[in-house]
Amino acid sequence: MYEILQRLGQTFNRKSMCGYSLPSSTKEHRWFLHVKKRKKEGNMEYLEKFVPESIKKLPVHMDFEGQKKAERLFQIIIGLFGVVGFVWGYICQQFSQTMYILIAGFVLSCLLTLPPWPMYRRKPLQWQKSREENTDKESSSASQSAQKTKKKK
């Protein structure tokens, strides 16, 4: 295979077999480094640069109790609108009326449960404080010897 590629005048290297080849000019080299950098930093970090500060300040979290409330509210709204839609569609003998009412319930439940409204953020988690790491070698060696004695027992 190597001889065939050489006969054709193509250079063979492992990187070209992996899906990309080394650039030949300086302009291509700069573009190659830019693409490589973007892949390294990820798409979200790249796009985050363009988001205005006012949007970055919006709260996006919801506590566990809030998630439970939102899920329960979503189920109640969808169930209620589904029953009302079915009854109304049966009375009118129009399935489209059932679907319209069900879609309206879905839109209403999305507006009430998807954004992190303040009613879903009332009980935030209390995180434990981080432990300070001991940089002292004596304390770490003492703890290691204590662990060794525990293992022997």
Question: pLDDT tens, 25-44?
Answer: 565 555 555 555 555 556 67
Question: Tokens 């204590």 identify what position?
Answer: 146
106 CB-near residues (< 8 Å, 6+ apart): 78, 81
Same domain, 77 and 37: no
Range of the domain at 91: 64-120
Same domain, 51 and 70: no
Question: pLDDT tens, 87-112?
Answer: 999 999 999 999 999 999 999 999 99
* pLDDT computed for residue 14 by the predictor: 45
Residue at a domain's end among 14, 31, 55: 55
Q: Exposure string (b/e) for 3-34, b if CB count within 10 Å is 16 or more?
A: eeeeeeeeeeeeeeeeeeeeeeeeeeeeeeee
Angle between helices 95-113 and 64-92 (to 10 degrees): 160
Decide which of 22 and 83 is more confident: 83
The dihedral built from the CA positions of residue 131, 133, 139 and 145, taken in this order, carries a sign that is positive
* pLDDT computed for residue 91 by the predictor: 96
Residue 151 lies in a domain: no
Residue 23 lies in a domain: yes
Residue 79 lies in a domain: yes
Residue 68 lies in a domain: yes
Residue 13 lies in a domain: yes
